[in-house]
A and B are shown apart, each in its own frame.
Chain A
Amino acid sequence: MTEPLTLFDKLWATHEIVRREDGEALLWVDRHYVHEGSFNAFNQLKARGARVAEPGLTFGVADHYVPTRGSRRVIDNPDIARMVRTVEENTAEHGIALFGVEDPRQGIVHVVGPEQGLTLPGLLIVCGDSHTSTHGALGAYAFGIGASEVAHVLMTQTLWQRKPKRMRITVSGCLSPGVAAKDMVLATIASIGADGATGHAIEFAGPAIRALSIEGRLTLCNMSIEAGARSGMIAPDETTFQYLKGRPYSPKGTAFERAVEAWSALTTDDGAEFDREVELNAPDIAPIVTWGTSPQDALPIDASVPDPAREPDAARAKYLREALDYMGLMPGTKLTNIAIDRIFIGSCTNARIEDLRAAAAVLSGRVSKVPGLVSPGSSAVKRQAEDEGLDRIFRDAGLEWGESGCSMCVGINGDVVPPGERCASSTNRNFRGRQGPGARTHLMSPAMVAASAITGTLTDVRPLLAGRKA
C-alpha cells in the first residue's frame, strides 16, 4: 500500500527533475505565458545573449496595456504603445506565438489560457503575474513568478522551488441563489485573512466546489493569491473534461481519451494529509462586498462598516481607521447606504461569459444610475456575448461595452477610476490606488456590480433577481 497523496503532491512529483539536499527542487515547466509586463525578463536574456529554451511551450498575449475603449490600432500614449510593441518584438525575436492586440484569440492571459485549451490538468504553468493561480481551476499547478524567474524559465524551461505546505479548503452544501464563486472566495479570504494561506498551495474541495462551473472555479482559484497562496487548485472532473474537449490546443481524438484517463488520477487520495484544513458551509455565504483596502475587508451586504472605536485591539483599530479614511467612509455606515460613482465589470477574475450573463440577467430591461465599463475577458468572450445579445443589454442600460484586456482592474492602459471616485468592481484587488490614484474600489460579484449600478448604491442582488432567470 503506497502512502496516500494529495493532488498537489502528485502534481509536484511529476515535475521534479532533481531535488537537492537543502530541499529545493528543480521543476519542469509545461506552459509559460508572457505579456507586455515581461519586458524586464526579455531584457535580462538580451543582457546575457541568451535564447528562449522552449519557444513552443511559451505563449504571449497582449493584455495589460492594450486599450479597452476607443481605437486598438492607434494608441495615443507613446509609452503604452511602446509596451504593446515590445511584447510583439520580443515574442517575434524568439519565435514565440503571440495573441496580439489584433488577434481574434487575444484576451486576458488567465482567460485565454483555459479558453484555448493551453491550460490542461496536470500541467505546471507559470506567468509573471500573481493571478496565474487561476489556471489551477483545471487541475494544474499554476503560480505567479517575478521577472528574474520569468527569465530563468525562458532560458531553461525550469524553476527552482521549495515545496509549499498543503492546505485544503472544503466547502460543503450548496450556494444559495444569487450567491456566486466570487462570494465564496471573498468569504474565504475574510475568514482566513490576506495572509491566511501564505506558504501554502490550496486545494479547493467539497460538494459546493464540485457544483461550480469552470468559470466559477477559475474565479475561485484566481483569488487564492489574495489569501496569500501562490497557487490554488481543484481536482479535474467530468466538468473539466467537458470544458476542454474540442478546445484549439487540447489533445484531439484518442489522444484526448488517453489524456482523460491520466487526468482522472489527479485527485487527492483518501487519507492524504494536509498541513492545514479549513471548512466553510456554502449555505452560510451571502452576497459579499469589500469595504476597505484589502480583499480581507469583506462583509455580507446586509452588514455595516466596522467601527474602530469598538475595536479592542489597538493595532486592528489603527488598521480600520486608515482603511475607512482612504475609503471615505464613516464608521457604522450600512453597506447598502454607500453611494457609488461608477461600475466596472471585467478582469481575469470575473469577465468570462458566465460572468457577463449573470450581470446581464440583472441589468436586462433596467438602467444604470452611474456610468460604467464592461470589458469582456477575451476577444472570444466578446464575440460570444455579442452573439447572445448581452452587449445590447449593457448598452441599453447606459454602460460602455469595451474591448478585452486588464483594463480598469489595474489601470495601466489609461482606463482609470478618477481620484476620490467610488467604483463597484468585479475585480480582485481593492488596494489603495489600484484602479487609479485615489480611486476607491468595492469588490463584488458581477451580479452584485449590476445590482449596484441599478440603484447607485451597494445593493443586495437577490431581490432584483425575483422572477428572473439568473
Chain B
Amino acid sequence: MDKFIRLTGIACPLDIANLNTDQLLPARFLKVPRSAGLGAALLHDLRFDAERREQPDFPLNRPAWRDAKIIVGARNFGCGSSREAAVYALYDYGIRCVIAPSFGDIFAGNAVQNGLLTAIISDDEAAMLMGVLGEKPGQRLTVDLEQQTIQCGNRPFRFAIDPVRRTRLLNGWDNIALTESYIDKIAAFKVSDRTRRPWAAPSQ
C-alpha cells in the first residue's frame, strides 16, 4: 500500500449529501476485476447520461477539476453498500483524499486499507471550502497528514482522523503482517473459547 504523508493537488467540490457507494460505483461495475481499473466507472451515472455522453455540468467533467486528486464532499460521504470497489474507483481515477464532515463507517474503513485519506472537517468548514473552490475552479489544496492540516491559499484548516488510521496511512501498513505477530494469542484464544462457548461452533 502507498504511504500518504503530504499531498498537493486540485480539489473538486462535490456538494451532495449522503453520496452513497452506489453512486461512487454503480453495482453493474462490481464484476470488473481490480486489475482492469475502475477509474472510468467512478460516479458513472452522475458523470454520464444514459447514452454515455458526459454531463458537462458535473464538477469532475469540468476542465478545471478533471485532474482532481482531492474531493471535498458533504456529510455522510460513502454511506450505504460495503463495496470496497467504490474506493478502488476513486483511487484508480487519481483521488487520494476525500475531505468531508462525516463518512460512512464501512467506506472509511475501506479507504484506509487502500491508502485513501478520509479527512473530517466541520459542516461550516466544508461549506466554506466548497465556496472557495467554486469561486476558483482548479484551486489546489495541500493536505498534510503529519500536521493534520489542509492548506487552502493562506487559510489553514485542522482536520480529524482516527489516530490508528493516521499511523497506518503515514506508514503504508496493512494489517495482515501486524496480525500475524499475534498468532500465538489467537491460537490460545481459540482453545480457551472452545471451553467457554462450546455452543459457538456450527453443530452439523
Contact = CB atoms under 8 A, between A and B. Distances in A.
B193 A433 contact: no
B114 interface: yes
B175 to A, nearest CB: 6
B189 A319 contact: no
B105 interface: yes
A144 B82 contact: yes
Interface in A30-48: 30-31, 37, 39-40, 43, 48
A13 to B, nearest CB: 12
Contacts of A412: 27-28, 30-31
Contacts, number: 183
Interface stretch (A145-153, A332-340, A446-454): A145-153
A122 B197 CA distance: 9
Contact of B109 (A37, A149, A438): A149
B76 A195 contact: yes
B153 interface: no
B132 interface: no
B22 A433 contact: yes
A17 B185 contact: yes
Given A120-B200, A122-B200, A26 B22 contact: no
A149 B113 CA distance: 8
Contact of A40 (B34, B102, B104, B185): B34
B20 interface: yes
Contacts of B82: 128-130, 144-146
B84 A118 contact: no
A17 B30 contact: no
B50 A17 contact: no
Contact of B102 (A148, A164, A198): A198
Interface in A143-196: 144-149, 151-152, 155-158, 160, 162, 164, 194-195
Contact of A28 (B164, B189, B204): B189
B58 to A, nearest CB: 13
A294 B18 contact: yes
Contact of B186 (A157, A195, A263, A315): A157
Contact of A145 (B15, B30, B106, B114): B106
A57 interface: yes
Interface string B171-204: 0001110111010011001100100111111111
A14 B81 contact: no
Interface string B131-163: 000000000000000000000000000000011
B197 A14 contact: yes
B169 interface: no
Interface in B21-42: 22-23, 26-28, 30-31, 33-34
B105 A146 contact: no
A230 B105 contact: yes
Contacts of B110: 146-149
A410 B34 CA distance: 20
A100 to B, nearest CB: 17
- Measured as residues with beta carbon below 8 angstroms from the partner, the interface class of chain A is 35 or more
Contacts of B84: 40, 128, 146-148
Contact of B203 (A28, A128, A252): A252
Contacts of B34: 40, 43
A83 interface: yes
A194 B109 contact: no
Most B Cβ at <10 Å: residue of A26, A82, A157 = A26
**Considering the complex of A and B, which 3 residue pairs feature the smallest CB-CB distances, nearest first?**
A259-B199, A148-B113, A146-B110
8 contacts: A26-B182, A43-B34, A57-B201, A144-B106, A149-B109, A162-B162, A198-B103, A263-B199
Interface of A: 14, 17-18, 22-24, 26, 28, 30-31, 37, 39-40, 43, 48, 56-57, 65, 79-80, 82-83, 117-118, 120, 122-123, 128-130, 144-149, 151-152, 155-158, 160, 162, 164, 194-195, 198-199, 225, 228-230, 248-252, 255-256, 258-259, 262-263, 294, 296, 315, 318-319, 322, 410-412, 419, 429, 431-434, 437-438
Given A57-B201, A412-B31, 17 more contacts: A17-B185, A28-B189, A37-B30, A43-B34, A122-B200, A129-B81, A151-B176, A160-B175, A160-B178, A198-B102, A198-B105, A228-B79, A230-B105, A252-B203, A318-B15, A411-B27, A412-B30
Interface of B: 15-18, 20, 22-23, 26-28, 30-31, 33-34, 45, 50, 75-76, 79-85, 87, 102-106, 109-110, 113-114, 127, 162-164, 167, 174-176, 178-180, 182, 185-186, 189-190, 193, 196-204
